[in-house]
Chains A and B, each alone.
Chain A
Amino acid sequence: MEEIIRTENLTKKYDTMVALDNVSFVAHKKEIIGLVGDNGAGKSTLINILVGLFPPDEGKIFLDGREVRFTSPGDARKRGIEIVYQFSNLIEGMPIYKNFFMGREIINRGILDNKAMRKESEYALDEIGITKSADQLVEELSGGQRQAVSLGRAFHFGTKVLLLDEPTTGLSLKEVDRTLNRIKLIRDKANMSIIFVTHNLRHIMPIADRIMVLYHGEKVLDKETKHTNIAELTKMITARIKEEEHVDRTKYI
C-alpha cells in the first residue's frame, strides 16, 4: 500500500500538560484509520496539527515521503488535506456553493464565476449521493445534510488526507448510517487516506481498516481492525493494561 502521510514523534504541550506525546504513525492510500481515546486523550490536538491550525512543539510530518510544515489551515488545504468537524466548518448564513468554494473561488477573466461554482458543487454532492440546490442556505440544512456538504467539499478538493473529527457525534441513527456510507464512498472513489476520530467504537469498527488508540497523549495501540475487538479497545482506551505495566504516570501531572 502506498504511504500518504507519516508523522514522527509529534509532541504538543499546553503549558506543562502533555497533550500529545511522541506520536508516530503512518496512513496509506485508500485506508480508513479509526482514531479513538478517552476525553482529553489528544485526538483533536493531533488532528489540529495535521490540519495546520497550530504547529507541533516537536516532531515531523511527512506527506508523500517529503517533510512538510503547515503554516496555516489554508496551507494544509492547498496540499490536499481536508477536514470535517462534528460541528460543521460551514458558514451558516451562506449558500452551499459559497461554502464549497470559500477560500478557493473559481475566477474567470478576473471575476467570480458563480455559475461554474454552482455547477461543480452540485455535481460533487451528487457524487456522494445527496441532491441539493447549490443556492440553498446552510442554515436550512439538517445536521446530516451539513455533514454531507462538508464531506462533499472534502471529497471534491481533498487529494491526500481526509480528517474526520467526530463527524457522527450528535447525528440521528439514520444520518449516522448515511454519513458512514458516504465516508466509504469517498474511500472508494478518491485516493485519500482517511483518519476518523470518534468515541463510538460501533461507528468505526465496521469501516476502519486499522484502529489507533491514544491515551493521555500517547499512542498505546495501533492494530488492524480484524486483529482487535471492542473489549481490547475499551481496555486500552481506559488503559487498565497500562496500570498493570507500571507505567510512570507522574509525568502526566
Chain B
Amino acid sequence: MIELNTFKRFLAKSEVNRTILILILSFVIFIINPFFYTGPNFRLLATWGSIHAIMVLGEMLYLIPGGIDLSLGGVICISNVLVGVFVIDNGLPIWLAVFIVLLIGAAIGFSSALFANAFSPPLKFLLPVFIYTIMLNFVLVGIGRIITGAFPIYGFTESYSLISKAKIGPLPITFVYLIIIVGIFSYIFYFRPLGWHIFATGLNDEVARKVGINVKKTRLIAFTLGSLLQAFAGIIIGSYLSVGSVLVGPEYLLPILAGAFIGGISLAGGEGSPYGAVVGGFAVYLIENIIVVLALPSFWKEVATGLFLFFFVLFDFYQKRKRIFTRA
C-alpha cells in the first residue's frame, strides 16, 4: 500500500506526469504518422524544443521570485534586430555583436529588477513588475521598428547560422546549450543558497527580508539572467532564420507563458523547477510540431496550446487542493 502511495505521489509531480503524457502523446502521433520519429523531425524537435525551453527558463527566473516577464517578445525582437544592425550595417564581427546584444539583454533585465525593487516592501504601496515589463515589450519592439524602418535585415554569412545550426556529435547545438543552461540552473537552484533565496523571495519577500536575505540583490540576479536568456534566444532564432527582423519575437510571449504554466511554474511565485521549464518548453513546441506533422491547418495550434494549458493548470490546482484536504 505504501508503495502504491509513493507511486501516486510521484505521478502527482507536475514534471513527472507531464513527461509521461508527452511521451504517450508523441507515441500516438508516431502511430498516426511515422514521419514523427524520423531523423529530420527529431532534429527539428530537439532544436526548437530547446529554444522554447531556454525561453521558458528565462521566464521562470522572473516567475519564481514573484515577478512576470512580459517583455520577452520585445527582448527577442530587439536582440535579433540589433545583431543585424551591428553586423550587416556596421560591420562588427559576429562575436562582438553577440556579446554586446547579450549585455543589452542583461541590462534590460537589470532595469526590470530595479523597478521591482523600487516598488517592493518595506514600501506600503506596491507595484507589480509587469507594469514595467509590458511597457518594455512595446518600447523595445517600437525601437526595433524605428531603427530598421521595419525592413528585415538580410545578408548574414554562413558563420552566423552556426550559432543555431551547428552540431556537436549527433546533437543539435541548441540542445547542447539547453543542457548546459539546465546544468547551471540545477546547480544554482539545488546546491547554492541563491536558489533558496530566489524561492524565498517569491514565497514571501517580506519574511525573506526580515530573516536577513538581500531580496533586492536576489531579484537583480534573477531578472538579469532571465532577460539575458531571452536575448540569447533572440540571437539563436535570428541566426536560424538568418535575419534581423522586428517580426521575430512578439509572437512568443503567450506560448512561452503557456509553457511556463504547463511546466508547473506558478504565477504566484515560489514554485517551479528547471526540469519543469524544459518540459513546458518542449510541450509548447511539440504541439506546434504535431500540427505540422499531421498536416492540420496551423490555427489548430492555438486551440491545442490553450486547451493544454487550461487542462494542466486545472490539474495542478486539484492536486494542490487534494494535498491540503488530506492533510486537514
Contact = CB atoms under 8 A, between A and B. Distances in A.
Contact of B210 (A73, A98, A107): A73
Given A92-B204, A93-B203, A112-B191, A140 B327 contact: yes
Contacts of B270: 93
Nearest to B328: A140
Interface magnitude class on chain A: 20 to 34
A105 B327 CA distance: 29
A53 B203 contact: no
A32 to B, nearest CB: 23
Interface stretch (B9-17, B18-26, B132-140, B193-201): B193-201
Q: Say what secondary structure dominates the interface of chain B.
A: helix
Contact of B200 (A51, A72, A78, A94): A94
A102 B210 contact: no
B192 interface: yes
Contacts of A89: 207, 210-211
B149 interface: no
B212 to A, nearest CB: 3
B217 to A, nearest CB: 11
B269 to A, nearest CB: 10
A102 B209 contact: no
B199 A94 contact: yes
B208 interface: yes
Interface in B175-219: 190-193, 195-197, 199-200, 203-204, 207-214
B122 interface: yes
Contacts of A93: 199, 203-204, 270-271
Given A111-B191, A112-B192, A73 B203 contact: no
A206 interface: no
A185 interface: no
Contacts of B212: 72-75, 77-78, 103-104
A92 B199 CA distance: 11
Contacts of B214: 72, 74
A225 B310 CA distance: 62
Contact of A91 (B191, B192, B204): B204
B203 A92 contact: yes
Nearest to A93: B203
A90 interface: yes
A90 B210 contact: no
Interface string A87-121: 00111111000110011110100111000000000
Given A53-B122, A102-B196, A111-B191, A94 B203 contact: yes
Q: How large is the interface on B (under 10, 10 to 19, 20 to 34, 35 or more residues)?
A: 20 to 34
B211 A103 contact: yes
Interface SS of chain A:
loop
B192 A111 contact: yes
Nearest to A113: B191
Contacts of B213: 74, 102-103
A98 B207 contact: no
B211 A102 contact: yes
A77 B207 CA distance: 14
Nearest to B270: A93
Contacts of A107: 193
A99 B199 CA distance: 12
B208 A91 contact: yes
A99 B211 CA distance: 9
A29 B78 CA distance: 61
A103 B200 CA distance: 10
Nearest to A99: B211
A98 B196 contact: yes
Interface string A58-77: 00000000000000111101
Contacts of B203: 91-94
Interface in A147-168: none
B7 to A, nearest CB: 19
A100 to B, nearest CB: 10
A182 to B, nearest CB: 19
A89 to B, nearest CB: 5
A48 B164 CA distance: 54
A99 B203 CA distance: 12
B270 to A, nearest CB: 6
A159 to B, nearest CB: 15
A53 B195 CA distance: 24
A73 B207 CA distance: 11
Contacts of B327: 140
Contacts of B190: 112
A206 to B, nearest CB: 29
A136 to B, nearest CB: 11
- Top 7 closest A-B pairs, CB basis? A74-B212, A111-B191, A103-B212, A105-B193, A93-B203, A77-B212, A89-B210
Given A93-B204, A103-B211, 8 more contacts: A74-B213, A91-B200, A91-B208, A92-B203, A104-B212, A105-B193, A112-B190, A112-B192
